[in-house]
Chains A and B, each alone.
Chain A
Amino acid sequence: MSQSFKTTLVAAALASCAFGAHAQGAPIKVGFMLPYTGTYASLGNMIENGFKLYVQEQGGKLAGREIQYFKVDDESEPSKATDNVNKLIKRDNVDVLVGTVHSGVALAMAKAAKENNTLLIIPNAGADAITGPMCGANIVRSSFSNWQPAFAMGKVAAEKGHKKAITITWNYAAGAESVKGFKEAFEKGGGTVAKELNLPFPGVEFQALLTEIAAQKPDAVYAFFAGGGAVKFVKDYAAAGLNKSIPLYGPGFLTDGTLEAQGPAAQGMLTTLHYADNLDTARNNAFRKSFALAYKAQADVYAVQGYDAAQILGAGLKAVNGDIAKRDALTAAMHKVTVDSPRGKFTISPAGNPVQDFYLREAKGNNNEYRSIAVKALADPARGCKL
């Protein structure tokens, strides 16, 4: 090895030491792993925009630190999830991971985040396991667990005096978790779930099951579907005339973002979620105005979840004065924060899931309008979490 090369190496090493000492000044690297293509593409964009909006409102910095963004499209494809998350963790060396929408992908991210001890904030995916058996001190969710809105709906359905319900969903993890949450609250309230119907994901041929519902004559139906499947189910349910005699309930995902496509079929439908389009609070109005100004688009629940993910990170960084190396203090602060969210104030459970109010909403025009609080400060039971 030539002398000059050695000198260069030493100089480089010294330089990197120097940089290390001034890490305070370097930007914090935030890695978005979100769906930018495919069915969930619009959700990914909403989350990213929400996150960036909060950072912009703080002057482009969190706790005095610049934020540098990295992006990977997860395509909502669980089989590529581990490779994709490693691009952010190993290649880009991000300090914080933010993602994602699809639960299968999010579970892989949680696993990778635990193995590499990387901070992870989940802005949507509702898999119960993430804040259950998979929970970790470095993992926080800014959205919900599948159990939560379902439990709230089960409570409302029981309070309305319904005794016999039928559930229907796709035969996959999120559907099963949602049905479980509904059943738990509904049976606690004195009702019984007579039958749990399901069909393979993402099938949309509901006619046979609707006939089965008509034959069973329940007092209420609880459905968990999303996207195109939700639109078709709600329309088929109304076309079969069942909405006249048997009320259809569901978590907010059944109607959120798809009311226009569902048209008259969805009008008057009651759903539960941690957000409602016309939540008339100063906080929400300010947020919606700011979002509309920045992006020329109406904010939705996904934008709120992205926004709150940034708030949680901001609170953590603030507690350690922007020194991200103080991990224990940082994660502890992220769990202790009270988030002043557009959805209403909420806290974080020890397992890392929001403890938040769930609203009963009614579909009116193209909005899911706030009706009442279904359950106040609902905490996920975090079954299987050893924190």
Chain B
Amino acid sequence: MDLATFLVQCLNAVQYGLLLFLVASGLTLIFGIMGVINLAHGSFYMIGAYLAFALAPYFGDWFIARLVVGVLLAALFGYLLEWAFFSFLYRREHLQQVLLTYALILVFEELRSILVGNDVHGVPAPGWLAGSFPLGELMSYPWYRVFASAACIVVALALYWVVNRTRLGMMIRAGASNRDMVRGLGIDIRLLYRVVFAGGVALAALAGMIAAPLSSVYPGMGGSVLIICFVVVVIGGIGSITGALIASLLVGFVDTFGKVFFAEYSGVFVYLLMAVILVWRPEGLMKRGF
């Protein structure tokens, strides 16, 4: 492998990692901070992608407006979902959470089938991002992929700022480490959780919307990201945003170079990485809330 190819592969790894981070960050918020095992997270990603597909005809090239509207809808949806279902789950066992969120997967998949059907659909990238630039001799790199990476970096920075520099972030971190103490200090933890959950859903949906032009939308697309997201969350340390970022990039690199050098066994490396890290640091790379 020459240097140019190596650099392109690094770019691929970073880009994949960043997109993973966007989905996984929502999961680490919900799973880590609220303690809910949310198997339906992949469905939120799928809902985001289908939102992008459904909204596309109305917005045309107003791509950013489409993202904003989609995120707001998803956040509202998450807020209602928390109120209707998840708020009853915090004190229950994990098994019941798994049952509810699994049921939600089935419901969302069936709704998707009824509303949109089972066909694969393409989602157009906005006109102003449609081109690509040459990279190496034969390859070119689509601008949309650059945009997707940039959007992920912006979201990562914004999340870091919210969690570490704002009052809301302080409450979230406090809620992650000691729920009862936070409540004792007079903070409305139910409202806080509702906001965090809505935020987590919005992040997953945003990831789905950004990924839609790259991946198309198709039945079962949520399931494929769910497992890898749990891997990222567990490697990064449950409830840690920074950990999720590091873990996503690690997974991105391991997956990319695993595929290139050991095609036959490429499926194994990500899980091997997880096993090694769990032996080394059973709690994951970073502490909860950081």
* A22 smallest CB distance to B (angstroms): 43
Instruction: Given the known inter-chain contacts A196-B263, A203-B224, A208-B256, please indicate yes or no for A215 contacting B118, CB distance below 8 A.
Output: no
A241 touching B134 by the CB < 8 A rule? yes
A60 at the interface (CB under 8 A from B): no
Q: Does B35 contact A (CB under 8 A)?
A: no
Judge if B57 is at the interface, Cβ distance under 8 Å: no
Interface contact A208-B13, CB-CB below 8 Å? yes
How many A residues touch the partner, as a band?
Answer: 35 or more
A37, A171, A205 pick with most chain B CB within 10 angstroms: A205
CA distance A202 to B117 in the complex (A): 20
Within 8 A of B (CB), among A79-115: none
- Residue B5 contacts which of A196, A215, A227, A239 (CB distance < 8 angstroms)? A215
Asked whether, in the complex, the Cβ of B260 is within 8 Å of the Cβ of A261, the reply is: no
Inter-chain contacts of B1 with A (CB < 8 A)? 215
Which chain A residues in 135-182 approach chain B with CB under 8 Å? 171
A residues less than 8 Å from B266 (CB atoms): 171, 198-200
- Is the C-beta of A384 less than 8 angstroms from some C-beta in chain B? no
Q: How far is the CA of A82 from the CA of B218 in the complex (A)?
A: 28
Among B2, B119, B122, B260, point to the contact of A42 (Cβ < 8 A).
Answer: B119
- Does residue B43 face the partner (Cβ distance < 8 Å to A)? no
B139 lies within 8 A of A240 (CB): yes
Q: Does B166 contact A (CB under 8 A)?
A: no
B210 to chain A, nearest CB (A): 15
Bound complex: CA of A239 vs CA of B140, how far in Å? 7
Residue of A with least CB distance to B136? A214
Asked if A199 and B134 make an inter-chain contact with CB atoms under 8 angstroms apart, the answer reads: no
**Interface 1/0 per residue, A249-279 and B, CB below 8 Å:** 0000000011011110000000000000000
B63 shortest CB reach to chain A, Å: 17
A318 at the interface (CB under 8 A from B): no
Q: Are A240 and B141 in contact (CB under 8 A)?
A: yes
Residues of B within 8 A of A228 (CB): 120, 215-216, 218-221
Assuming the contacts A200-B266, A214-B139, A261-B120, asked whether A209 and B218 have C-beta atoms less than 8 A apart, the reply is no
Chain A residues, CB < 8 A from B118: 39, 41-42
Known contacts A197-B263, A212-B260: does B140 contact A39 (CB below 8 Å)?
A: no
A298 and B142 CA atoms in complex are apart in Å by 35
B87 contacts the other chain (CB 8 A): no
Q: Are B216 and A235 in contact (CB under 8 A)?
A: yes
Report B-chain residues with C-beta under 8 Å of the C-beta of A245.
138
Q: Does B96 contact A (CB under 8 A)?
A: no
Q: Does B282 contact A (CB under 8 A)?
A: no
A210 at the interface (CB under 8 A from B): yes
Partner of A41, one of B113, B120, B140: B113
Closest chain-A Cβ to B117's Cβ sits at a distance in Å of 8
| Residues in chain B near residue A207, CB distance under 8 A | 12, 15-16, 256
A33 within 8 Å of B by Cβ?
no
Chain A min CB distance to B8 (Å): 5
Closest B residue to A230 by beta carbon equals: B120
Contacts of B220 in A (CB 8 A): 38-39, 228
B121 interface residue (CB < 8 Å to A):
yes
- CB-defined contacts of A235 to chain B, threshold 8 Å: 122, 214, 216
* CB-based nearest B residue for A228: B218
A58 on the interface (CB 8 Å rule)? no
Q: Is A383 an interface residue, CB under 8 A from the partner? A: no
Given A208-B9, A214-B136, A260:B122 Cβ within 8 A:
yes
How far, in whole Å, are A37 and B105 apart by their CA atoms in the complex? 14
Contacts of A211 in B (CB 8 A): 5, 8-9, 12, 139, 260
CA distance A283 to B216 in the complex (A): 35
For B8, list chain A residues within 8 Å (CB).
211, 214
Contact A171 B138 (CB under 8 A): no
Compute how far the CA of A246 lies from the CA of B134 in the bound complex, rounded to whole angstroms: 15
Q: How far is the CB of B134 from chain A (nearest CB, A)?
A: 7
A231 contacts the other chain (CB 8 A)? yes
Mask: chain B, 85-117; 1 = CB below 8 Å from A; 0 = not: 000000000000000000000000000010001
Can you list 9 residue pairs at the A/B interface with Cβ under 8 Å?
A: A42-B119, A202-B224, A205-B256, A215-B1, A227-B120, A227-B218, A231-B120, A232-B215, A261-B121
6 nearest interchain CB pairs? A228-B218, A200-B267, A241-B140, A261-B122, A214-B139, A207-B12
B residues within 8 Å of A by Cβ?
1-2, 5, 8-9, 12-13, 15-16, 113, 117-122, 124, 132, 134, 136-142, 144-145, 214-216, 218-221, 224, 255-257, 259-260, 263-264, 266-267
Given contacts A197-B259, A214-B5, A241-B134, 8 further A-B contacts (CB under 8 A): A38-B220, A42-B119, A203-B224, A205-B255, A207-B16, A239-B140, A241-B132, A242-B138
- Which residue numbers of A lie inside 8 Å of B, CB to CB? 37-39, 41-42, 171, 196-200, 202-205, 207-212, 214-215, 217, 227-228, 230-232, 235-236, 239-242, 245-246, 257-258, 260-263
